[in-house]
Structure 1
């Protein structure tokens, strides 16, 4: 089988195993929907108290919130193997992955497809559509293409972050908690416009970890909040490519870590 067929086989096995206990699956999916819904309630309460934040309305922030949350939910569903990677290292299970005549990345991506993340995915889409409907934005073909392209860049960025987190485990064994500030903390950051943060913080999440490039800048174009006299529209439209570049950097780091792996020694 080629790689795509093998990955499809992995996903099929994962789906069938989760559907063995459908009541449990339904409850976990609903739990994800409700728990992430509480986050939005907190966001709504903030705007109920202050009306706007530095000129940004609730509905505009809903677009930021929804876009980054949809992308993260997709990534969270696909990358379970990298979440558990430190455990695979400690238990010596990763050695079995190396013995198989297939890419270790393919095997880790096929570790599990977490369908329960559909709860978060659905909640994020509801918030996104809620914001767009109140802003009266015409969803033309270019706008829809921009939304899809932006989500693609964000998914790639989060995958790159998880790859780096797993790569560090080759040397640290344990997962570094500081990486969670960039993944789970990053999604909290990107739910709001970058302009509400300090300048050093904005630069960090633009040039080092380009969260702004995969959410803030393209959404300025979507919301018609950019200044065409100073910055051309194509610059904002191309900014999600930073997420793809970051993913390739993560892949290169992974291969470096893999070459330095010396097994558990047990």
Structure 2
């Protein structure tokens, strides 16, 4: 089988498995609605707290409420981009501990694709909904000429931001093949992105900006937003780093997937 045929087969198989998972989830419509609503409310409360502060002081780090809404919206939509397809990563250690990951290894479909489609949870749609509710109005409020280039960069930045966050979650999950327990590490990573990814990096000072760039939380939303708002001069870092945000996401995810693939070799089944 050629590489092209193999990729096509994996995509076809993944689509079939995903369709089955979605149909299974759709059987519980009330639970689906409540879960999505809870996700949207949770994320909205986070922005509401920030809005109260901005209403009191007018701006934060020189960023107006519309500027911050754009950043916050990009961050939430990027989060949903990785969380929707990869939310099953949080359960990988259950499959490993129970020895049920074996069945993913004996089927002619990529084990990660099988894990992703073993069950489909739609609660990240709440994050997506909250993000779009912020992002779309903010786009009309900020002083930005939304030409084709900026719209294209926005789309790539959201995709790249999702890959940055997804890369960390995938890498943390891969460690489960060795340690059997990664929940706390993944929770910590998720908390860092949630706590610091929704604010302009400028408010954390020069050292904070550098730390968030290295981590690299800033590549999810802050750096791309400075490009869109024409604020790269406040970074204290080379402006080209902000323009490369989508590329950084792709490179990190590719490296994380390679790490995942290598760690699978250390998996020991229930009979090992």
Q: Assess same fold via TM > 0.5.
A: yes
Q: Which residue does the alignment assign to 1:253?
A: 259
Deviations 1:97-133 (A, max 9, x none): 1122222112122223322322221111111123222
Give the direction of change, closer, same or farther, for the CA distance of 1:90–1:22 in structure 2 (3 Å limit): same
User: 1:46: Cα distance to partner?
Assistant: 1.4
Count of residue pairs the alignment pairs up = 264
Task: Sort the Cα spacing of 1:76 and 1:184 in 2 relative to 1 into closer, same or farther, 3 A.
Answer: farther
Q: CA deviation at 1:260?
A: 2.1
CA root-mean-square deviation: 2.2
Give the conservation status (yes or no) of the 8 Å contact 1:154–1:240: yes
SS at match of 1:177: helix
2:207 and 2:115 map into 1 onto residues whose CA distance is: 35
Q: 2:65 aligns with which of 58, 64, 70?
A: 58
1:218 equivalent to 2:224? Answer yes
Task: Map 1:159-198 to 2 at 5 A.
Answer: 159-198=166-205
Q: Does 1:241 align with 2:243?
A: no
Query: Secondary structure at the residue paired with 2:232?
Result: coil
Select which of 263, 268, 271 maps to 1:262. Answer: 268
User: Could you tell me how far apart the structure 1 residues matched to 2:36 and 2:44 are?
Assistant: 12
Identify the residue that residue 142 of structure 2 maps to in structure 1: 135
Does the alignment pair 1:25 with 2:32?
Answer: yes
Distance 1:122 1:163 in 2: 24
Q: 1:82 to 1:40 in 2, by over 3 A?
A: same
Q: Residue 256 and residue 232 in structure 1: after superposition, are their counterparts in 2 closer, same or farther (change >3 A)?
A: closer
The farther-off stretch of 42-51 and 81-90 is 42-51
Structure 2's unaligned 5+ residue stretches are 1-7
CA distance in 2, matches of 1:169, 1:200: 33
Say which of 9, 28, 40 aligns to 1:2: 9
Q: In the superposition, relative to structure 1, how do residues 194 and 102 fare at CA in structure 2: closer, same or farther (>3 Å)?
A: same
Q: Partners in 2 of 1:36 and 1:214 — Cα distance?
A: 16
Write the distance in 2 (CA, Å) between the matches of 1:232 and 1:39.
31
Q: Which runs of 4+ in 1 moved over 6 A?
A: 230-233
SS of the counterpart of 1:240? helix
Question: Deviation of residue 8 (structure 1)?
Answer: 0.8
- Provide TM-score, normalisation by structure 2: 0.88
Label 1:227 to 1:201 Cα distance change in 2 as closer, same or farther (>3 A).
closer
Asked if 1:104 corresponds to 2:120, the answer is no
What is the CA–CA distance in structure 1 between the aligned matches of 2:114 and 2:185, rounded to whole Å? 26
Higher mean alpha-carbon deviation, 6-15 vs 112-121, is at: 112-121
Unaligned runs of at least 5 residues, structure 1: none
Distance in structure 2 (CA, Å) of the matches to 1:233 and 1:157: 19
SS at match of 1:100: coil
